[in-house]
Amino acid sequence: MLAKRIIPCLDVKDGRTVKGVNFVDLRDAGDPVELAWQYSRQGADELVFLDITATHERRKTTAELVKAVARQLNIPFTIGGGINELADADVLLHAGADKISINSAAVRNPALINQLADAFGIQFVVVAVDTRHVDGKNFVHLNGGRLKTDIETEDWIKEAEDRGAGEILLTSMDHDGTKNGFDCVFLKKINDNLSIPLIASGGAGSKQHFVDVFQQSNVDAALAASVFHYGEILIPDLKDELRRHGIEVR
């Protein structure tokens, strides 16, 4: 069995790391370059960097900031935000990204997934999905969660996989920032029907929540932000706890 991955996420706005609850009420969480360096030293398996307002503000992710973060890292680095075409991905690759994450642009132009996979390989393409439970169903949301679509989350994830996504990063907006635990039931439902890795996001508040998500949904990786940024959970301690529960980590 592959080792489970622990992934801190830097949500970046105006050059600073921020964190909110249910995608709103953002507060400052520090310098992304400094945080990246800390996580790399602590033993994070990967790092995700999301420019959370790039799509909403119709601009590109800042390549210079990406370069500054990449210089601090010796672990895989995924970047998302404002990527709408192959040229955007190419710039970020040259700035130091190992993978790119696409979200709203992929929903608006699903062929972008095929194009990126063909150009760079499927291992390079992470499709991020923001989902919210509405009237008994889960629907995809765009523009940093601001815009509901009529696309059911399960249908979209299957299409993304078929088009060449190498991984799915699934964020439960209902759980995001609440620290009440991951949406394990829905994550298991999705994971049981996927043949590519699934990264769980949204709701981490304790070490036990990571134990639960790996044991109950068998996802490949768990991503979190505020519990790491504010020092509530240290990655070495978390990995020790996972090992105590028989969960293999690097």
Radius of gyration of the chain (CA): 16
Domain 5-244, classified CATH 3.30.365.10, yes or no: no
List the catalytic residue out of 45, 130, 183, 220: 130
Domain definitions of the chain by residue range: 5-244
Backbone angles phi, psi at 186, to 5 degrees: -70, -40
Using CB atoms within 10 A of its CB, is residue 113 exposed (0-12), middle (13-18) or buried (19+)?
Answer: buried
> What whole-number distance in Å separates Cα of residue 29 and Cα of residue 17?
5
DSSP label at 249? B
pTM for this entry: 0.91
Q: Residues of the chain with pLDDT > 90: what percent?
A: 64
Residue 25 burial (CB count, 10 A)? 10
Structure tokens at 27: 């507060």
Please give the helix or strand (H or E) that residue 24 lies within, else none.
strand 24-30
Among 48-62, 67-81, 110-124, 153-167, the range scoring the smallest mean pLDDT is 48-62
Residue 37: exposure state from Cβ atoms within 10 A (0-12, 13-18, ≥19): middle
165-200 confidence digits (pLDDT tens): 999 999 999 998 889 999 999 999 999 999 999 999
For tokens 């620290």, what's the residue? 179
- Does residue 28 carry a catalytic annotation? no
For residue 56, give both structure tokens. 């909403």
pLDDT in tens, 198-229: 999 999 999 999 999 999 999 999 999 889 98
**Mean pLDDT of all residues in the chain?**
89
Nearest-angstrom CA–CA distance, 229 and 101? 21
Active site residue 25: no
Q: Do residues 132 and 141 touch, judged by C-beta distance below 8 A?
A: yes
Phi, psi of 227 (to 5 degrees): -65, -25
Dihedral over Cα of 76, 78, 84, 87: its sign = negative
Residue 82: both structure tokens together: 């404002």
